[in-house]
Structure 1
């Protein structure tokens, strides 16, 4: 069947359009894959033996409930505790890196669509700032050894009631009666004290990063973290984290050095899907 030049042109244009559509779809899929996180397995513990053995790269496991590690021999307790916490730390850091990457991409654009603008506004609200420049500065990384040291001190290497009953790794208080929380045994000025209850250890770690990102007390920490990932340098800026002040910094230093926690700074999250049993 013969065709006119006009119909031939239309055919060619449709073919090109189809190719462009296919290419665009591939780009979109690839971009979605770049933004997607490593699949996370959520796991509840019944005994310390259920803790997945720590390897490098680290399996992406987020524990939804834990058990006290207090009965274990000291060396085993420490080993199990690190295997329990390090996956959540690395998952949270991966999420943070993905947020930073997308933020840089959006800030490089001349204009944002409604979805991109909504995402940016939500991120600014989350980090309690209206300034994109300030947002960049707040979204800082921290070394694994520093986080592990704080977690070990705050939970007594996985022995505290807050840790066991609320997945609360850092003793974070709750002032909102509408959020999940548990009551502390002690009171302050005759009033009940509550701490947050998290759905998983990952939730506790991500809330920890937000606390350090939003608090005015940690401006110096955030500034220093943009120049070094040496935990022994960064802990100097955590004197306001605890009422112990400089003594808290000394305890962190002792914890990092004596337990050789800086060896875990090089650990990375596995990029493959894991098959950890629930």
Structure 2
């Protein structure tokens, strides 16, 4: 029993060290590039970007200039992803039954797969479930998390993998191996072909992950009350994004207050 206790403590300590070194594990699903291709909707297929990495934000010595450059680069990408989600949401909202036309049926099934849902309940119930997940996120919230998780676009994983949110993957070769990864571990920091792919994955994480049910509940309540999606309010749903929990939420909320002036 004593050995088991020591082992348990050692495991817990190791987990904390991993978090400190690499950032908290943001509860992402084990998605692959193949999955993204399978669920890529018409809205996403019509927008293409050349394979490129983030600009060199480290070259900015002035903090204010760095922030403006970071936000100016990422904001259009976040708005593009929000636009894609809005189109998916509009498509679902306008349905009165499961579509039978080939193109619409394919689009419908891709959206279900995108949001990790199955056609196993009555249509109206399914429609409600989809609309809870197929929804937008405040630009300020996304930008502040990207800034926090990627050290304003200067972290190793942002530079080498276009990974802005600390997302992990579990298939060999799917990303960048963290320095000091414990023996026996197989996770990698996921590689994305373009920063917008990282943003799409982040959206999918918050819109489908079990850890963020509260965020989706709060968003649904704001929608029902016809209120704006307040980034400060939705940030309360990020408790499980970091092992720091309340402290992490407060940090994101502070970043929103302090840096919102740099967002157009």
What TM-score, normalized by structure 2, do the two folds share? 0.72
Cα distance per residue 1:174-204 (max 9 Å; x no partner):
11236x4111113146525411111111111
Against the structure 1 CA distance between its residues 36 and 149, is the aligned structure 2 distance closer, same or farther, given a 3 Å change threshold? closer
Q: Residues 110 and 211 from structure 1, CA distance in 2 versus in 1: closer, same or farther, beyond 3 angstroms? A: closer
Query: 3-state SS of the aligned residue for 2:177?
Result: strand
Q: Distance in 1 between matches of 2:149 and 2:171?
A: 22
Provide structure 1 residue ranges, at least 5 long, that are not aligned to the other structure: 1-34, 45-63, 268-278
Deviation string, structure 1 residues 134-189 (Cα, Å, up to 9, x no partner): 111111211111111100100111110111111101010011236x4111113146
1:177 aligns with 2:181: no
Residue 37 (structure 1) shift: 7.7
* Structure 1 consecutive aligned stretches of length 4 or more whose deviation exceeds 4 Å: 35-41
Alignment match of 1:42 (pick from 49, 71, 83): 49
Q: What SS does structure 1 have at the residue aligned with 2:80?
A: helix
User: Per the alignment, do residues 118 and 244 of structure 1 end up closer, same or farther by CA in structure 2, a change over 3 Å counting?
Assistant: same
Counterpart Cα distance in 1 of 2:45 and 2:109 = 25
Provide the aligned length of Structure 1 versus Structure 2.
209
Q: Conserved in 1, the CA contact under 8 Å of 2:171 and 2:187?
A: no
How big is each residue's C-alpha offset from its partner over 1:95-134, in whole Å with a ceiling of 9 and x where there is no partner? 11111111223x2257522332222122112211123321
CA distance in 2, matches of 1:112, 1:134: 20
Mapped contact 2:172–2:186 kept (Cα < 8 A): no
Q: Cα RMSD over matched residues?
A: 2.4
Alignment counterpart, residue 120 of structure 1, candidates 103, 108, 113: 108
State yes or no: 1:209 paired with 2:203: yes
Aligned mate of 2:72, from 79, 83, 99: 83
State the SS of the aligned residue for 1:195: strand
Structure 1 residues 159 and 99: alpha-carbon distance in aligned structure 2, compared to 1, 3 A threshold? same
2:152 corresponding residue in structure 1: 157
The whole-number CA distance in structure 1 between the counterparts of 2:199 and 2:154 is 17
How far apart in 1 are the matches of 2:189 and 2:141?
22
Paired residues of 1:141 and 1:225 also in contact (CA < 8 A) = no
For residues 102 and 238 of structure 1, the distance between their equivalents in structure 2, rounded to whole angstroms, comes to 28
Q: TM-score, normalised by structure 1?
A: 0.68
- For 2:256 and 2:98, the matched residues in 1 are separated by 45
CA distance in 2: counterparts of 1:72 and 1:161, whole angstroms:
17
Residue in 2 that maps onto 1:104: 93
Alignment of 1:194-205 (within 5 A): 194-205=188-199
Shift of 1:84: 1.4
Q: Which has the higher helix share?
A: 2
Contact 1:186 1:193 in 2 (8 A): no
> In the alignment, which residue of structure 1 is the partner of 2:240?
240
- In structure 1, what is the equivalent of residue 135 of structure 2? 140
**Which sits farther off after the overlay, 219-228 or 139-148?**
219-228
More strand, by proportion: 1
Distance (Å, rounded) in 2 between the aligned partners of 1:139 and 1:171: 22
The unaligned stretches of length 5 or more in structure 2 are: 1-41, 119-125, 223-227
Which residue of structure 2 aligns with residue 257 of structure 1? 257
Contact map agreement 2:99 2:108 (CA 8 A) in 1 = no
